[in-house]
Amino acid sequence: MHVMLGVKIKELRQRDGRKQEELANALGVTCQAVSRWETNGGYPDMEMIPAIANYFNVSIDELFGYSKEREEKLKGILEKAEKAIAQKGDMSECVKMLRAAADEFPSEPKVFMTLGFALDLHGWEKHGARSYTKNGSDYAYEDTEYNSQNVYWQEALRAYEKALTMDLSSEDKDVLTQRLVLYYAKMGYFDKALALATNQNSLLMSREVLLSLASEGETRDRYQGEAIIAALTALKTVVLNSVCTKVSVFTKAEGVVLLVKLAELFETVFSDGRCGIGHYHISELYLNAATYEARFAQNFETALEYFGKGFEHNKRYREIINCGEYCYSAPLVSRVTFPSENFPTLSKTFWKGWMEVLPEELRERIKEDTRFRECFDF
């Protein structure tokens, strides 16, 4: 047990990026004493154990390696939270549970990351967000004065910031960085958003692009497919945001054309109709196209056609979520596989949200069409 204690002290010190001297100063011992502990040449006095555990923000049980029960508890909390977040319902109890977990597990980045996700959704539900246009301006603006008062988003930012300083996978760091940049901007912290965004790699220096250059044969084929999917996803995000925030675009036919042509590009790449994550993005493009076509062109027949395409892709997407490893098969992406449980989730109130924003006449036409009956099952 003494051997395990020394190993654990070293592991925790390295986890937190601290030097032996820092630990020694905090405990009032010499660096040599700390070194002896870590090399199994001795062990701390028992009276010092609580102070060491407190220094590393762990329990005494965990310090001695009795962490199985603690790990099981943490796993249970995260699984319960992730299920609640996937359902996108009332986050009150989930947030309460994760706040308590953050106090109990202050060194677990997944707790803070998941707390941020829950607070993010809670902020939308309890406070929402606003944007506006200015007379004579071509752009939509975030109502940062209103959005910055969202106390749940403020807390989410703190959780994201803390998690980003901790030991996370590169994928989780990418997710947190994107969330932080987005909500910094929504709440008016543009300097922070720009600083964080500027510090990231360029598109040409992305992991996906570089991996496709660093390999050959079947491996290169897989990486190239992954790069294509990532590039399409990024392009969709930028184009959709650009259309939705520029008045002269989303109020004119050009905006709808851009969204539809981009959806068709996705469909061209996934030429066999097995679009994977693409179904999610194509659906969003067509649904937005339908909304703008109905609202500004008042061409309800075409809008209904776009809605139908968005509905079908959404239906296909729901069929593949949580169905094991998804294997793409179109020529350019035929080597790519992806765990379908990691695809973005859709809430049970997904169609309710869309019905609330669609123009009334289009909504009535959708309601009359028996193909779309499930859109009103709420």
The first and second tokens of residue 131, run together, are 């944007």
**Region 243-247: what's the mean pLDDT?**
94
Task: For residue 265, give every residue at least 6 positions away whose Cβ sits within 8 Å of its Cβ, in sequence order, or none.
Answer: 232
Per domain, the residue ranges of the chain are 2-63, 81-200, 217-378
3-state secondary structure of 269: helix
Mean pLDDT for the chain overall: 92
Q: Is 128 left (phi over 0), alpha (psi -120 to 50) or beta?
A: left
pLDDT, average across residues 17-38: 90
The pLDDT tens digits for 354-363 are 999 999 999 9
Share of the chain above pLDDT 90, in %: 70
Helix ranges restricted to H, the chain: 2-15, 20-27, 31-38, 49-55, 60-63, 68-87, 92-104, 109-126, 144-147, 151-164, 170-186, 190-198, 207-213, 217-244, 247-250, 253-269, 277-292, 300-320, 350-357, 360-368
Confidence label for 136 from pLDDT (cuts 50, 70 and 90):
confident
Q: Read off the tokens for 73.
A: 């508890």
- The answer to whether 340 touches 326, Cβ cutoff 8 Å, is yes
The pLDDT score that the predictor gives to residue 167 is: 86
Residues facing residue 326 across a β-bridge: 338
Per residue in 308-328, pLDDT (tens digit) is: 999 999 999 999 998 999 999
Say what the pLDDT of residue 65 is: 67
Interatomic CA distance for residues 341 and 321, integer angstroms: 6
């707790």: which residue's tokens?
A: 111
Q: Grade residue 1 by pLDDT with cuts at 50, 70 and 90.
A: very low
Does the pLDDT at position 2 exceed 70? Answer: no
- For the chain, give the percent of residues with pLDDT over 70: 98
Distance CA 361, CA 135 (A): 28
Q: Please state which of the ranges 59-68, 145-154, 167-176, 254-263 shows the lowest mean pLDDT.
A: 59-68
Q: How confident is residue 156, by pLDDT bands cut at 50, 70 and 90?
A: very high
Does residue 59 have a pLDDT over 80? no
Phi-psi region of 65 (alpha: psi -120 to 50; beta: other; left: phi over 0): left
Q: For residue 66, what pLDDT is reported?
A: 63
CATH architecture of 2-63: Orthogonal Bundle (1.10)
65: helix, coil or strand? coil
Query: Mean pLDDT across the stretch 123-145?
Result: 92
Query: Strands 325-327 and 337-339: what pairing?
Result: antiparallel
